[in-house]
Amino acid sequence: MKAIRQLSMLFIVIAILAGSLGFSFQTAQAASCSYYHTVRHGQSLSSIGAWYGVSWKSIAKANGITSPWTIYSGQVLCIPSGGYYYKNTNYNYVSYAPSWKNWTFSVVGVVEDSSVTIKTANFPDNMLYSAEIGCPSCGVAAVKVADVDSDAGGTFKKVFTIPVAFSGVNNLWVRLTQVNNGDDVQVAFSNNTTFGSGGTYYPTYYSYNGKYYYNIPTISIVSVVRNSSVTIRTHNFPANKTFNVLMNEMGTRGRYGYNVGSFNSGNGASQTLTFSIPSELRGNHQIAIRTQSTSGGFFSYNWFYNNTAY
């Protein structure tokens, strides 16, 4: 009996030491890991999934993490290969994690020899980018001007300083490269303060499937019937695209949510559409809603109070 007690104490000491040193034990599924990720303060399964391009639920499953999906700083996670789709057979819906290959940006302002301002579209959250400025044929190497963290993603503006090496050079470009996978987008601009205001203007586009699209799709909330339905209105949607509509808890921006329907954008004109609130979200005070194209990488999101007096 004494020997058993001593052995038990030994296991307890080992467990305490492992915890204090930050060790984490991988699940049996770790053999299929594409990467190992050490969790940093403030990160979530969702943000980590966006970084690696996999569903947060596939990461949770690979690491044996269950509701309430808690992770902690210093924890080492197995990042499984694939994982873009997650099938919930209980509720018969499919959640989709986009590959973000169609993230883009446009140049919206220039101060000659001083700065260039960009505006992003469809950016994933918590993704790190390297920003460079260069010229097509001036014989000067491109210069890195900043690291950009996309934070909450979507649409935001950033201002970059034009390097002294390009003073007086009229035709320049700015390029953003995703640090984790090397994907990049490069946009040309004129080094001229009158950019977009009557001066020389190098047009920029949002590109999809070899065509061009100038606007950022958004949705607004028109009305709500508590625990029953929500009516939205679309704005600036690309033409002839099929969009799935997802709802989820507040703070998720609708990602990986309950699929409540779909619609076609037609000629791109604004549409007013009504969708039922899924039973799983009835009773929630606030609900996130998202439209997500089945091709091309377009999405938009909003949220609403689950209240008829909205």
Residue 88 within any structural domain of the chain: no
Task: Please name which of 223, 236, 33, 26 lies closest in space to residue 122, comparing C-alpha atoms.
Answer: 236
> How many angstroms separate the CA atoms of 102 and 80, rounded?
23
- Both 117 and 199 in one domain: the answer is yes
Residue 213 within any structural domain of the chain: no
pLDDT value at position 164?
94
* Furthest-apart CA atoms within the chain: distance in Å: 90
> How many angstroms separate the CA atoms of 142 and 157, rounded?
22
- Both 199 and 222 in one domain: the answer is no
- Both 79 and 108 in one domain: the answer is no
Q: Identify the domain boundary among 162, 181, 204.
A: 204
Q: Residue 294 maps to which CATH number?
A: 2.60.40.10
Total tally of structural domains belonging to the chain: 3
Residue 182 within any structural domain of the chain: yes
> How many angstroms separate the CA atoms of 163 and 214, rounded?
28
> How many angstroms separate the CA atoms of 31 and 80, rounded?
9
Domain boundaries, position 57: 24-83
> How many angstroms separate the CA atoms of 292 and 263, rounded?
10
- What pTM, to 2 d.p., does this model score? 0.40
How many of the other CB atoms lie within 10 Å of CB of 168?
8
Residue 243 within any structural domain of the chain: yes
> How many angstroms separate the CA atoms of 56 and 28, rounded?
18
Q: Residue 71 maps to which CATH number?
A: 3.10.350.10
pLDDT string in tens for the chain (310-residue length): 555 555 555 544 444 444 444 444 444 344 478 777 888 776 778 777 766 767 778 888 889 998 878 888 888 988 887 543 333 333 333 333 333 446 778 888 889 999 999 988 878 766 788 899 998 878 888 999 999 888 777 788 999 999 999 998 988 889 998 876 677 788 888 888 765 443 333 333 333 333 334 456 778 888 999 999 999 988 878 889 999 999 998 878 888 889 999 999 998 888 999 999 999 999 888 898 999 888 767 788 888 888 886 5
